[in-house]
A and B are shown apart, each in its own frame.
Chain A
Amino acid sequence: MPEPLPSQEITTRTHTAEILANARRDTERYGLDEIFIVDVDSHHAELNSWRDIIGYVEDPVLRDTAEQMMVHRPQAGQLALSNYKAGLAFQDAGSRIPHQSGLAEPVPVDGNPRDVELVRRAMDAMSIDVQVVFPQPMLEIGLHPEPGIAVQLMKAYNRWFVEQILPGDPRIKTMLGLPFEDPAACVETIREFGDHPDVIGFLVTSQRHAGVHRNEYLRIYAELEERGLPLGFHAGPSWQDSMTATMNRFLSVHAMSFVTCNMTHLTNWIVNGLPERFPGLRTIWIESGLAWIPFMMQRLDHEYLMRQSEAPLLKQLPSDYMRQMYYTSQPMEITDLKLLEATFHAMDAENTLLYSSDWPHWDFDVPGRVMSIPFLDDTAKRNILGGNARKVFGL
């Protein structure tokens, strides 16, 4: 009689290796162990370490406020000072996708935070050689009602991550979030951590209402360009803006807001000629999928040709600048292969696309997703899975 599987139902407490056991089949089918795979976007659960992170808040009054919250409010140990939004709790589709709810599996204590071991397990299960790890709710920090608190929390998180997570495994890398509410603090952050070998770039968390073209930010871009470090724009959800506030389902909110935040920043970036002003600065658009790219190329080219006087710094079409930028692959919208192929052609995906898993989120992509695309040759697949990232990050 055949044996039953040890886990009849996968839950939040199931071991990552068991959740991702089927991904190992792709490893054998596609020979993934022989391919250099860089995952440019994955996540760990910083709220599980929130008490520790709060300890890194520099402002003594704010830190005390948070510590008092954690003493006197039962749930503040994972939320104090944060702007965690209720919408985020809908991401697991009513617990239909448990790994989105949380990875609550047992992890032996070996001196590292449990997140290091969880990242290792995911990398091993998906044959990933290098994984760029980001936080989760901290990606919404740009919507915090008080900019001063947002700056303090981002700085505390960054220092905690560099000191507590990065030393845990040389395969773990990150692009640290910039405290974008304070341009001077951004430059300080780049100068403090820019030489760290595992900090391979910096990040604007895209859910924010800031014109990224404004003069006050330019010294940030100059600093990054001079150091040869890329700037990422990481998308996120918002159920509170004027568009998504009309929506009644998280499906709708996610479909739109993860894309429109990056569409907004990319538009400002190009129309204001930042690719001409910072030609050596590489930009990466993270976690907005791919379907928006050909739309933006056509839309911006169409408008630019009629209104050149509003974008006089441009020397090429907007779509030409877009082909000189980089994009992470997830969530790859594979519902119409002809449209996907046209998208890959339009964006020169062989040279601009960077594989990303987004693990452990509900719409993650395994590396086999790239290997299964029928119109890509072997060189293109290897570029997307790791070759392009090796070039962008100098790995």
Chain B
Amino acid sequence: MTLSAPRPTSSVVARSSDVAEGGRYVVAVRDDLHIGLFRFRGRLYAYENTCPHQGGPVCQGRLVDGVRERLDAHRHSLGLAFDEDDPHIVCPWHGFEYRITTGEHPGAPRFRLRSFAVTEENGEISVAL
């Protein structure tokens, strides 16, 4: 006989209006589980507010676009620039950055935020816990 894993339950955690485009909303779902909601180009993302590095409050950090180094055809550096297609959330404890769209550290994807499936219906946002 095989036992199936318990199905995640969906919980309403915020109103749609709580999460602005390009913004974030961090809620205490339980005492031991805080979740950050992010909206980028209309899509919602949900991550645990715990950095896989040292446990910092990652979702309460600075939202800033990822940085790229521009090279010309001869591979000369043209300096740094922000990538508007790749917003990051930065853990305020130590600066570990994660892509909002994937939850991965841009330079070391083995560091990945715990993510939750998120749905939006009738003006309410739910996450699968």
Contact = CB atoms under 8 A, between A and B. Distances in A.
B64 A96 contact: yes
Given A2-B28, A97-B93, A97-B94, A9 B62 contact: yes
Contact of A98 (B12, B14, B92, B97): B92
B113 interface: no
A19 B29 CA distance: 19
Interface in A18-60: 19, 21-23, 25-26
B27 A22 contact: no
Nearest to A95: B62
What is the predominant secondary structure among interface residues of chain A facing chain B? Answer: loop
A5 B28 contact: yes
Given A93-B95, A96-B62, A362-B94, A8 B54 contact: no
B18 interface: yes
Contact of B61 (A4, A10, A21, A26): A10
A369 interface: yes
A378 interface: no
Contacts of B118: none
A140 interface: no
Contacts of B15: 1
B57 A21 contact: yes
B17 to A, nearest CB: 12
Interface residues of A, number: 29
A8 B24 contact: yes
A316 B7 CA distance: 64
A99 interface: yes
A363 interface: yes
Interface string A355-385: 0000000111110110000000000000000
20 contacts: A1-B14, A1-B15, A2-B13, A2-B14, A2-B28, A3-B27, A4-B25, A5-B27, A5-B49, A5-B60, A9-B24, A10-B61, A22-B55, A26-B55, A95-B62, A96-B95, A97-B92, A97-B93, A98-B92, A368-B54
Interface of A: 1-5, 7-10, 19, 21-23, 25-26, 93-99, 362-366, 368-369
